[in-house]
Structure 1
Amino acid sequence: MSKARLLLATERRAIVGLAGLYATRMLGLFMVLPVLALNADHLAGATPLLVGLALGIYGLTQAVLQIPFGMLSDRVGRKPIIAAGLGLFLIGSVVAAQADTIAMMIAGRSLQGSGAVAAAIMALLADQTREQVRTAAMATIGLSIGVAFAVAMVLGPLISSHFGLAGVFYFTAMLAVLGLVVLWKLVPPAPRRRGHRDVGIDRGQLKSIIGRTDLWRMDASIFSLHLVLMAIFTAVPFRLVEAGIAEPRHGLVYLGVMGLSFVAMVPLVIVAEKRRKMKLMCLGAIGTITLSLLGLGVAGSGLVALVGWLFAFFTAFNLLEATLPSMISKLAPAGAKGTAMGVYSTSQFLGAFLGGVLGGFLSQQFGLSAVFLGVALLAAGWFVLMLGMTAPKHLSSEVVVLSDEHQGDALETLMARFADVAGVEDVMVVPEERTAYLKVDRSRLDTEALSRLTGVRD
């Protein structure tokens, strides 16, 4: 391995601390999913529609505020903004824990989501890591989110069965306090803030990114995926009760389903990435989600069928959670991955919001089966939309620092020199940042020529 790609001690601390911070926050948001619908009957004014709104409202405030919070962190500092976001999450958790009306619960969940620090955390991680190790650092964050979701599915029902719904929210408040401790004690002092076009959002790129068909298909996919996820959690807990599983044992069901689905997902990710079958795996996963939703809609009270369809759903869900960000990275132009990921994340949270509302509406108006069948229809439309996608080229992002010898070169000259390197498919040079953003085909990349051009040696 190149010495440049070995982690420094400060980078290791930053990655561990920020991944843990991100994961604990998402754990707090996810833990309520398997328990809120079942335990909302004590809230005055509760209806299935309003319970669905309470489930998904965090997505709306998160979507609206994450980009402004990220931009504000560029001006006033990463850590103060992250701390403020965790403070809002803490207040929202306490409000939700003390809620005795559905309106108060919605307000608490809204406050939880308003602590929209995802973009600021990713920007701080970029500040704390070199370009050579940043991709691996970001992947660690992604893995931590997946683990947090699986743990939340188990932990939520366990805590709820012993301490009630309020106990779940008090636990999330404790996680927020823990996050503040990690932020100030474990994460290293923030260095000088820099621009990171592969992490942060560039407002000048937003119009072109939103207008690209290949990227908005990815945005539509993550929107639909989280819409479906949030919608079904207005009904799945009741299906488990109908199948004879008491609430305290729901966590065991989710543990088995999530564990097996992760195992089943791994070889599919390998096929998608190593054998370059991204489009096939994507369509297969969407098709599986559609079929599993249909199955859940007509499964009745049979436990075996219910668990089988949930296993199929979460295997496909986890596969898409792992591969859609990879596809965004491959499709985004050089120097625009951060902007593309910002739009993608906003789409995800909007999907979660509308999914909760749609699930609650369908459940209230037509019953539990209608929730699954309604979102199955949406998933079928999603599948048709994705039939027209072009399989992404297997390109990787590369960020290189320009050496002093390039200071006097014209922009066109620099871009031409990078473009002439075998395997470089796209390039953006930003002289004022002394940085070049590349999209490369690693199977053809002439690493020696690139090293000579940048002055980097192993």
Structure 2
Amino acid sequence: MNLDERLNPTEKRAAYSLALLFALRMAGLFMLMPVLAVYGQELVGFSPLWVGFAIGAYGLTQAMFQIPMGWLSDKVGRKPIIFLGLSIFALGSVVAATADSIYGIALGRALQGMGAIASTVMALAADLSRETQRAKVMAFIGVSIGLSFAASLVLGPILSAYLGLSGLFWLIAVLSVFAMFVVRFAVPSADSKAPSGEVSANSKQMLELLKHPQLLRLDWGVFTLHLVLTALFVVMPFRLLDAGLNAENHWQVYLPAVLISFVLMVPLLIIAAKRNQQRAFFIFAISLLLFANALLLINGSSIWVLGVILAVFFVGFNYLEASLPALISNLCPPGNKGAALGVFSTSQFLGAFIGGSSAGVLYTAGGASLVSWFAIALLIIWIVVSLGLRAQSGIKSYSLTISSPDQPASILEKLQVLPGVVEAVVIASDNTVYLKVKTKEFELARALDLVRAA
């Protein structure tokens, strides 16, 4: 294994192209969130209830198809499944674009969710990167998702003002086709696969991880995070309209809120890492979400106040969205990262579905305040649950290929005594040793020498 600190040409190409692919795919989902409640009002059957179902529908089908699509990619290859997923996503976009009722929009959104390729794209990123550089490639993709989310909140209202809701769905279908060209001509083909423990959601491992108290805290967290996000965008467009802001100008609130949130979020991440106070800052970020929802109860009728509320919310949301995947890697047992991320992703998408659908029901029953109370209750539970979080700083995972898996006990014994090794697991059938280490004490070169000599 090359210990070069820089990405090689293949890894750079993979990082850039897969980041673009993810950004295009996520834009198709995110651009609709701030506009569906506003521009869907002329649709047959329109109601806040069905807006919630339509916004959240993709989450249900994403949760259902994410893991099976990942399993299928292990069998037939990553790129064919990505093409299949993008095709289904484009089909869902066309169905929604041609719909004249909110029910057709909900069906289209559900079809979009069936094109669940996130886990497959991340697996391909792992296939195309060396162990020492994999975190950089994944981080690059993560940044693209965050930027796509921010840009979509601004572009959604602007584009909808010119294109209408149907035109926006047609644009999303076109973006899906463009994403296929990115896969065909820009994304490298993988000659090998990353260790299965890194990328595959093994069903047996997933069931075992449902008993892992620390990971369950994070699964509840991402479920709640995306629930309150989706719920917010069921009611926020109505709030802005009630405050006197025309639909085509909603971006004027979203843009400064998003920019301010990024400016404030990055220092929080840096300070939390330097002071080794991840749990305290994690709970603080949840408290920001709670505070934003509480402000909505106190004064949600002023455009300026709504802008402040969104900025506060996005500081907390962006911090948590960046922190949660890292905590999964930190806390999951060696060789179980793929399974841990499988449970995590399923929780995330279920949260989006329940957030949209429950917000629609609650808004219909008791207005926006009832939605905020629901979010506050769940966030309080999340804070209590997070008090038991036991994340360690300076922990990193490695997966090393072993050429001779005949004596796993011998290899394991030698690796476990290396300075900085916290946990080590050898999976002989996978020809891989999985390590969890303290980065300040661990020397990767020594571990590689032991593995090669085995």
| Alignment TM-score, normalising by the size of structure 1 | 0.95
Is the contact made by 1:297 and 1:371 (CA closer than 8 Å) also made in structure 2?
no
Matched, 1:426 2:446: no
Matched, 1:411 2:411: no
Deviations 1:195-228 (A, max 9, x none): 4312221223112211101001000000000000
Change (3 A) 1:300 1:447: closer
Matched, 1:235 2:227: no
Matched, 1:279 2:276: no
Matches within 5 A, 1:110-259: 110-193=110-193, 195-259=195-259
| Cα shift at 1:453 | 1.8
Separation in 1, partners of 2:438, 2:246 = 52
> Match of 2:244, as an amino acid?
G
| Cα shift at 1:272 | 2.2
> Match of 2:303, as an amino acid?
L
Separation in 2, partners of 1:276, 1:301 = 39
Separation in 1, partners of 2:267, 2:116 = 33
Matches within 5 A, 1:37-436: 37-193=37-193, 195-402=195-402, 404=403, 407=404, 410-436=407-433
Separation in 1, partners of 2:310, 2:419 = 46
Aligned to 1:31: 31
Secondary structure in 2 matching 1:131: coil
Separation in 1, partners of 2:389, 2:131 = 30
Deviations 1:367-391 (A, max 9, x none): 1222222211221222122223334
Matched, 1:438 2:429: no
Change (3 A) 1:374 1:203: closer
Separation in 2, partners of 1:293, 1:73 = 40
> Match of 1:347, as an amino acid?
S
Secondary structure in 2 matching 1:398: strand
Separation in 2, partners of 1:76, 1:113 = 21
Separation in 2, partners of 1:302, 1:313 = 16
Moved over 6 A (4+): none
Change (3 A) 1:78 1:305: same
| Alignment TM-score, normalising by the size of structure 2 | 0.96
Deviations 1:382-432 (A, max 9, x none): 212222333435411112233x4xx27521111111100010001111234
Is the contact made by 1:415 and 1:428 (CA closer than 8 Å) also made in structure 2?
yes
Stretch deviating more after TM superposition (164-173 or 108-117): 164-173
Is the contact made by 1:331 and 1:393 (CA closer than 8 Å) also made in structure 2?
no
Separation in 2, partners of 1:11, 1:103 = 43
Change (3 A) 1:433 1:5: farther
Change (3 A) 1:374 1:216: same
Stretch deviating more after TM superposition (217-226 or 164-173): 164-173
- Compute the RMSD of aligned alpha carbons: 1.6
Secondary structure in 1 matching 2:4: helix
| Cα shift at 1:451 | 4.2
Q: Percent identity?
A: 43
Separation in 2, partners of 1:6, 1:119 = 25
Is the contact made by 1:94 and 1:169 (CA closer than 8 Å) also made in structure 2?
yes
Unpaired stretches in structure 1, ≥5 consecutive residues? none
| Cα shift at 1:125 | 1.4
> Match of 2:437, as an amino acid?
V
Change (3 A) 1:204 1:4: farther
Deviations 1:305-331 (A, max 9, x none): 221121111100100001111111100
Secondary structure in 1 matching 2:435: strand
Aligned to 2:5: 5
Stretch deviating more after TM superposition (151-160 or 190-199): 190-199
Separation in 2, partners of 1:228, 1:95 = 27
* Paired residue total: 452
> Match of 2:410, as an amino acid?
T
Is the contact made by 2:285 and 2:317 (CA closer than 8 Å) also made in structure 1?
yes
| Cα shift at 1:6 | 2.5
Is the contact made by 2:400 and 2:448 (CA closer than 8 Å) also made in structure 1?
no
| Cα shift at 1:100 | 0.6
Is the contact made by 1:49 and 1:357 (CA closer than 8 Å) also made in structure 2?
yes
Stretch deviating more after TM superposition (35-44 or 295-304): 295-304
Secondary structure in 2 matching 1:132: coil
Stretch deviating more after TM superposition (239-248 or 149-158): 239-248
> Match of 1:118, as an amino acid?
A
